[in-house]
């Protein structure tokens, strides 16, 4: 069984919907991130324990997502014509061995912001040039 986690609407060039789902009890690597476009749901990233922080660069050339359990945010280049992932995701921010667990993220004004959990404190500026 799975449960829905996050949804990001219209972030890529085609305005597709990206959905994150995880195991009912957050089982290790039981989650995934999907892309829904024109009636088709495609699993993009399997084996994610707690998928989170789906967001997009303002120019829609890349997407970001996290596995909160691993404390890593990934960056994924997107095809400028159809919005599909281009190549493999790259590690963007790694919070292993810190008290930061990426649970929410936004990309605005050339800066990348990450919400710290479980404390749910104020959003921190982490990178002035996230692209």
Would you please indicate which residues are annotated as catalytic (active-site) residues?
103
| Nearest of 37, 31, 50 to residue 8 by alpha carbon | 37
Q: 100 Cβ partners below 8 Å, 6+ apart? A: 71, 114, 116
- The three-state DSSP-derived secondary structure of 4-69 is EEEEEECCCCCCCEEEEEEECCCCCCCEEEEEEECCEEEEEEEEECCEEEEEECCCCCEEEEEECC
């Amino acid at each position: 069984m799975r449960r829905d986690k996050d949804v990001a609407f219209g972030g890529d060039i085609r305005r597709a919907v990206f959905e994150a789902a995880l195991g009912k009890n957050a089982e290790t690597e039981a989650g995934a991130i999907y892309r829904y476009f024109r009636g088709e749901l495609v699993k993009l990233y399997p084996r994610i324990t707690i998928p989170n922080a789906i967001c997009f660069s303002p120019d829609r050339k890349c997407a970001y997502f996290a596995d909160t359990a691993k404390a890593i945010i990934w960056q994924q280049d997107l095809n400028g014509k159809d919005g599909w992932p281009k190549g493999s995701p790259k590690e963007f921010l790694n919070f292993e061995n810190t008290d930061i667990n990426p649970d929410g993220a936004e990309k605005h004004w050339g800066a990348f912001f990450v919400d710290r959990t479980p404390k749910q404190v104020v959003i921190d500026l982490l990178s002035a040039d996230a692209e």
